[in-house]
Amino acid sequence: MSDVTQASVVPRRQQSAAAGPAVPARDHGRILRQLLWGVILVLCVAPFMLVFVISLGHKIEGASWELGFSFENYRRVFVGANWPEEITYLYLQKLYYSLYYALIAAVLAVVTAFPFTYLLTGLSRRAQAAWLVFLLSSLSLSEVFIVMGWDVLLSNRSGLPMVFKETGLTQWLKDVGWFGQLREWGLANPRNIKFKTSVLATVLTMAYLVWPYAVILLYPPLSRLDRTLTEAARTMGAGPWTVMRSVVLPSLRLPIFGSVLLLFVFLLGVYVAVTVFAEPAKQTMAVSVYEAVRGNTLNAPFGAAQAVVLLITAALFLVAGQWLSRRGS
Amino acid sequence: MLLRLFSRVFLGLCAIMVALPIVVVSGAALNSGRTMFFPPREPTLARFGEFFITEPVWTQALANSIVIAFCSAFLAVLLAWPVAFGLWANNSRASRLLAGLGSMPFALPPIVFGVGLGFLWAFAGGLGTLWAAILSHAALFLALPLVTISIGLQSIDRAHLDAAATMGATRAVTFRTVVLPQTIPYTISGFFFALVLSFNEFIVTFFVSASAYSTVTLQIFNSLRNGYTPTMAVAAITFIVVSVVVFSAVARWGDLPRLMGAEPSKT
């Protein structure tokens, strides 16, 4: 069918090009196309190129920088500024935390979003639209607001820690003896439990940040899932959990994996949540990029080098994911 | 039956979880004092007046946000249309590459794109100007109208095009009478997606503005460091209301489940 229509479209185009006064029109088309390419190259591609070019330059005292050609900044990212006399992995550690937070948060978001989306696609079209409005609204909500909300919820003076204390839950935890364990995990100070600053709060906020994205990524494959398959399995006597495990999950292996990957890459660049919730010693590379470009240290080429490392890490994961999914299918 | 109950409970829990921080922020807006409390103490609506009318810091920031969001969304749609159309009509290697390059800023970590744009505008002399922010957001959110318009173009029945052609319509006429009307809802949806995301964008604006002006998100981030004020929460409410209204409009006049990738509805 589609071949037939393709075939009928092509001659029509040739016809109109040959018959009509097509020369000025084609000229317009070419100018428009060149303009479009120009705009997209300048706006969408040039910024990335500039980051790369400037990462090869070096800083001049007084918060400025000049172009150059050295890999000094990259050396500093990987083995420290004083290599080979001494090796420090300070910035690699920041990269490690970027990956660590992003991975846990992405997995957490997809694992919780999957059953939700499965149930969502079983609802009526109207209900689905209502849910999507709700989710899109929370999705488009700025990182700044979400962090603000969780900050109020988790802060020691007003949020959940107060609830724990007022309801006597803190006392109960102390009585049972789990309080010491929480302190070891960094989730309590001597008097009460605390979430700021902790890995838990960071990861939780990041997972929340991408949760609507996870639903929206899983929505198309789940809503196109052939329900006759699951119904067939049900009529053959399989329980709902068996159906989930043996029919739904295997057929959606790729979308699930792909969603985790995309969310992971997105989370590599999270800035506000990490600055607010992570301990100073466990900050990520995105924060460090900001510090170098706009913040205290003001070393734009070094910041650019870190941005390139972050970008290449993200790109590597995307490419590896593509490769794996092609092999899987 | 047990399963249905379980699924209801689970959906409800998810809704609560998603709404929780939003509710907290909104509640905090009603505080009369200078600090955030939840539940609010001595609820008042005075903060709304501050945000919309009396405090120039916030009104100016709101005006900047609105200008950037509308102009950049318009520009993004304007750029996305020919790219999506080229992709649909030719599907050549070049048009696929162009669409891919145009979607790149949205797919990669925004902080890297923000840093790059900061350098770009420093060279071009646009750092700290509103038009630089407009162009930056147009580039960042180009992918959204590109996707929605592409979905719209794909949903056009090829038979209609053939019918128009056999009845002797030129390409321009076909475009005006068949292609354009069928893709307008998708174009508008793309516009609104870009609008709302631009409105809420933080990190790119942060690098491009160079502290020369502020938008609402920037202003909130600044106050985040100097301690909360309930006025910020009013901003949050405003944003949520705008998002809900916009997406409800998209759901009302467009096919939202279809836009999000569900099967075309059978009605």
Least confident residue range of A185-199, A251-265, B112-126: A185-199
A136 to B257: CB separation less than 8 angstroms, yes or no: no
Q: In which element (H, E) is residue B76 found?
A: helix B56-89
Fold type of domain B66-214: MetI-like fold (1.10.3720)
d(CA A266, CA B191): 22
Chain A partners within 8 Å of B142 (Cβ): 40, 44
pLDDT score, position A25: 60
pLDDT in tens, A279-289: 888 888 888 88
For B137-154, what is the mean pLDDT? 89
d(CA A265, CA A114): 19
Please state the separation of Cα B184 from the chain's center in Å. Answer: 18
Question: Which residue's structure tokens are 């303009």?
Answer: A35
Q: Is B9 in the A-facing interface, judged by CB distances under 8 Å?
A: no
d(CA A115, CA B11): 9
| DSSP secondary structure letters along A113-179 | HHHHHHHHTTS-HHHHHHHHHHHHHHHHS-HHHHHHHHHHHHSTTTSHHHHHHHTTHHHHHHHHT-H
**Res A66 pLDDT > 80:** no
pLDDT band at B31 (very low <50, low <70, confident <90, very high): low
Residue B8: burial class (beta carbons within 10 Å; 0-12, 13-18, 19+): exposed
pLDDT score, position B132: 92
d(CA B89, CA B105): 24
pLDDT in tens, A71-104: 778 888 787 777 677 777 788 888 899 999 999 9
Cα dist from A180 to A162, A192, B80, B202, whole Å = 19, 11, 57, 39
Q: Which of A20, A40, A269 sits opposite B110 (nearest CB)?
A: A269
C-beta of residue A267 within 8 angstroms of C-beta of residue A274: no
Chain A partners within 8 Å of B28 (Cβ): 152
* ipTM reported for the complex, 2 dp: 0.83
For A303-307, what is the mean pLDDT? 89
pLDDT in tens, B173-203: 888 888 888 888 888 888 888 888 898 888 8
A310 to B220: CB separation less than 8 angstroms, yes or no: no
B120 to A125: CB separation less than 8 angstroms, yes or no: no
Helices (H), B142-225: 143-154, 158-166, 171-174, 180-200, 203-209, 216-225
pLDDT score, position B241: 83
Domain regions of chain B by residue span: 66-214
Chain B partners within 8 Å of A219 (Cβ): 260-262
Q: What is the pTM of this model?
A: 0.81
Q: Which of A9, A223, A289 sits opposite B115 (nearest CB)?
A: A289
d(CA B267, CA B262): 14
Surface of B (23-42) touching A: CB under 8 A? 24-25, 28, 36-38
A129 to B257: CB separation less than 8 angstroms, yes or no: yes
For A222-228, what is the mean pLDDT? 77
Question: Which residue's structure tokens are 């902080």?
Answer: B111
Surface of B (54-93) touching A: CB under 8 A? 79, 82-83, 86
Q: Is A99 in the B-facing interface, judged by CB distances under 8 Å?
A: no
Residue type, B26: S
pLDDT in tens, A10-61: 444 444 444 444 445 667 778 888 888 999 999 999 999 999 988 888 777 7
pLDDT score, position B175: 83
pLDDT score, position A9: 41
A307 to B200: CB separation less than 8 angstroms, yes or no: no
Q: Which of A32, A140, A148 sits opposite B224 (nearest CB)?
A: A148
Higher-pLDDT residue of A315 and A63 is: A315
Q: Which of A16, A115, A135 sits opposite B10 (nearest CB)?
A: A115
Phi, psi of A186 (to 5 degrees): 80, 20
Residue A60: other Cβ atoms inside 10 A: 10
pLDDT score, position A162: 73
CATH class of the domain whose range is A90-155+196-328: mainly alpha
How many helices and strands, by DSSP H and E, does chain A display?
A: 18, 2
Chain A residue with minimal CA distance to B194?
Answer: A140
Q: Is B162 in the A-facing interface, judged by CB distances under 8 Å?
A: yes
pLDDT score, position A249: 82
Chain A residue with minimal CA distance to B140?
Answer: A44
Residue type, B166: T
Task: Tell me the residue length of chain A.
Answer: 329
Phi, psi of B202 (to 5 degrees): -120, -55
Q: Is A310 in the B-facing interface, judged by CB distances under 8 Å?
A: yes
Q: Is A273 in the B-facing interface, judged by CB distances under 8 Å?
A: no
Q: Is A39 in the B-facing interface, judged by CB distances under 8 Å?
A: yes
For A196-225, what is the mean pLDDT? 86
